[in-house]
Chains A and B, each alone.
Chain A
């Protein structure tokens, strides 16, 4: 008998369960020293729970935990009903709908619950998806694939590369649009990375996630996915965007420009905001209507996608704060970093105590860039002495680029050139709308 069959149980409890030949899903009868009897299905235990309780799901569906100390007898009285999931047949694809590829990278955008154990199972095949979100089949012809399954905090430059290549494949395969489902924590970093890696896009690529888990009826997963697929299929645009809720209502799904979006709340549905820019498109879940913002690159299937999917991880994002230890910059430099993005205060400042370290970095041909930790707004280092001093040292201000986009761009630029001068030059040239010289009032 393997540990897997008694998932989460350890120590004495595990031994006792093994002795009784119990498995997850076995129907168990347990009597306590005070003479009470409990019957139910053995349920897995979370790996960080204590090692002294047995969890049973009673007939009425409730779970209860019984302490091993109180347990007198424990016997298996039957095997639980084996889950026999019969996939509902997916709704028939409507003929002549645009083809949209869905690439799944983790973050369970669609899932079902195992009522035997209560665990949440991802439902990620095309058929599952179509049956869980049946609306999709009337919007597009869906072609779904699982690329990998990772929590988004574990996603890095190698995954970005994989995603960019997969998108290129799907586009070559005639997709009218591509949707990537992704955990939300680092969704905006991936969006920026793909914005740089996928140049000259002929069709839109939309990243989508869910802030409220898809194992609850109130999840925003299905509505965000519906919005993303509709925008990928029909919106007249060709760039990388992030499709998420506009506000707390299941009403409008906004598309934000991949280089201009940031997760600004830990849990709300409307956590993703366009920073220093306006959303590029919106989808109305009630009417199915799409609205576009002016000046967004249009679809053009004759355009040839240019893939530049390499990233160099030797780049640091360093946030300044009062009491900052300058050793952080020094050690970055001695670790062989190719460039540093500073997240300074206000208009782009750091304490004068850092000047020496910054000077040393620049002297070692490590370009230093300035963004602001205020999130919204533009850095301007000509206003105060500190700013002018930093400019004078050779720090490069990055206008209204957000720090997260700046570090992703630095990794991408560093993979393309060895020269510090070239890195600086490329950082200052807008590649995917990540930087503008004018901030409209409506974007602030």
Chain B
């Protein structure tokens, strides 16, 4: 089902409304929600008040707090944090402080854990058009634990290590979902003379240090640009919202963007950016130029498809004669740049206003922004940073007192920390220390324990190797192993345990499953022809191999066993138990000898 909503900024006591929120609202953007009526409840639709705090989620958050040596609050108060981009049907995210003042030690350095909060996850954005933004509700309301460190991490590498250490502790609770995005990192990065930037949604640990490095680089680049603009004697007040209609100049261009805007009754507007020539194409980080930053602003505030800036022209169907004419109409001098936007009049104006604002900021400072992480670790403008905290009590959820009984119960059942866990795996399942550590650090520890318990005839060290080293080697071959679900893993090892396929087949089965997320392990075995051979099949194959190697057998008799074994295994590998092959081969050789 789908339904549509509009979110209205609620007013603060000081009469303030978040400017971005207000802007979104006045744009009349409609939020479309997609929900599955069989799994979505009225609370998720904001058609019923929220229920009391989930006690299990609270227990996990308290446990996590204890592992981080943070002090649980005596009474938990659920708050509403206003977020009106549509990601929450209510217009706010519910969040509560569970504990404060913890710390962990990473590489001998004490890292303060300022705060542990329990929050609800937001909806997933599945579409965005000029008039509507689409969110799916399948993720909304899933409990999230937010761990905030103190602002003391000094270099990108350390950031990665701290994130890794927190991730290990989270996994120790065994309540963390496996897969991309189940642990996300938000980074707050400050650079001297730069700004505080919040980077949202770093999904992979490996990207943390990269994202931090890129952000530092980006800000240093912006500071350079600023200094250069100052050398060129530009002031923010020189950059004005004086838009010139260049529709007539560009109406003859080959640009698809311009033509489509004009066909729909739109216009092409341009604005002069004095002394910006050459700076718009300055690459700050890979593929992000000052021009890109302006474009993202124009897209956000003006809902335009993008911008053309003078440093990238002539191109995109706009030729040099157009460029000259636009520059002339704006009164551009040698060092001046300009930006063109083609869209309907309102959007084009809003887009250029955003460009002018960004250009003014370029002269003055690095602007504070919330940015979204790209998969390569670079970031793009997401929205302005929210002003003062917009937080007020969730009056529909009563506060929860955390009694001593509850804390004691959780203390007694505190999960073992990663090091202890690894030690235990070593002794219990005879794993090597390296394998045990790898397993603890992987997402597959809960799966390992379940598989070991059911696939009794398969060696735990083999299962552990498969779930760590082998899966990682598949990942290096670009096999999407994250597609392999827990059930499929269990099925694969079950088949080995029941003797329906050989353990040598597991890797191939997992590879097949990664590309067939809806398939079953049994299907993989069948499709890949990895079923175990029956005894009579094996006997036939052995007979054939023995016959075609008459000389070898005749000359060496039973001593030919080793070499014959290699020849037979080459044909049946993955489909027969080597012990059984040896046995049958020996019998056969003895028969020949007799």
Residues of A with Cβ closer than 8 Å to B? 34, 36, 38, 43, 46, 49-50, 53, 55, 58, 60-67, 70, 83-88, 112-116, 118, 120-121, 123, 131-132, 212, 215-219, 222-223, 247-251, 266-269, 285-286
Contacts and interface: CB of A to CB of B under 8 A. Distances in A.
17 contacts: A36-B71, A55-B75, A62-B79, A64-B100, A65-B74, A66-B75, A70-B74, A88-B11, A114-B13, A115-B391, A116-B13, A217-B84, A217-B92, A218-B91, A267-B47, A267-B48, A286-B30
Contact of A61 (B391, B399, B401): B391
Interface string B35-65: 0000000100111110000000000000000
B91 A49 contact: no
A38 B10 CA distance: 29
Nearest to A251: B4
Contacts of B398: 46
A240 B46 CA distance: 29
B392 A115 contact: yes
Given A217-B84, A269-B47, A61 B73 contact: no
Interface string B3-41: 111111111111100000000000000100000000000
A49 B390 CA distance: 25
B594 interface: no
Contact of A267 (B6, B49, B82): B49
B77 interface: yes
A58 B71 CA distance: 16
B15 A85 contact: yes
A115 B14 CA distance: 8
Contact of A87 (B5, B15, B395): B15
B80 A216 contact: yes
Contacts of B9: 217
A113 B10 contact: yes
A36 to B, nearest CB: 6
B74 A60 contact: no
Contacts of A36: 71, 100-101
B101 A216 contact: no
Does more than half of chain B's interface fall in helix, strand or loop, or is it mixed?
A: loop
B contact residues, range: 35 or more
A171 B392 CA distance: 40
Contact of B389 (A60, A114, A219): A60
Contact of A88 (B8, B15, B95): B15
B14 A84 contact: yes
Contact of A63 (B6, B42, B77): B77
Contact of A53 (B4, B7, B401): B401
Given A63-B77, A112-B12, A216-B92, A120 B6 contact: no
A249 B75 contact: no
B3 A53 contact: no
A62 B117 contact: yes
Contact of A64 (B12, B77, B84): B77
B13 A112 contact: yes
Contacts of B73: 64-66
A113 B101 CA distance: 29
A221 to B, nearest CB: 9
B5 A216 contact: no
Given A62-B79, A113-B13, A218-B91, A249 B3 contact: yes
Contacts of A269: 47
Contacts of A219: 8
Contacts of A46: 398
Contacts of B15: 85-88
A83 B101 contact: no
Most chain B C-beta atoms within 10 Å of own C-beta, residue among A50, A60, A268: A60
A248 B45 contact: yes
Contacts of A55: 75, 77, 399
B90 A112 contact: no
B391 A248 contact: no
B415 interface: no
A62 B74 contact: no
A269 B407 CA distance: 40
Interface in B376-408: 388-393, 395, 398-399, 401
A29 to B, nearest CB: 14
A63 B13 contact: no
Contacts of B82: 217
A112 B71 CA distance: 34
A264 to B, nearest CB: 13
B97 interface: yes
B75 A67 contact: yes
Contact of B392 (A64, A66, A118, A249): A118
Contacts of A251: 4
Nearest to A68: B74
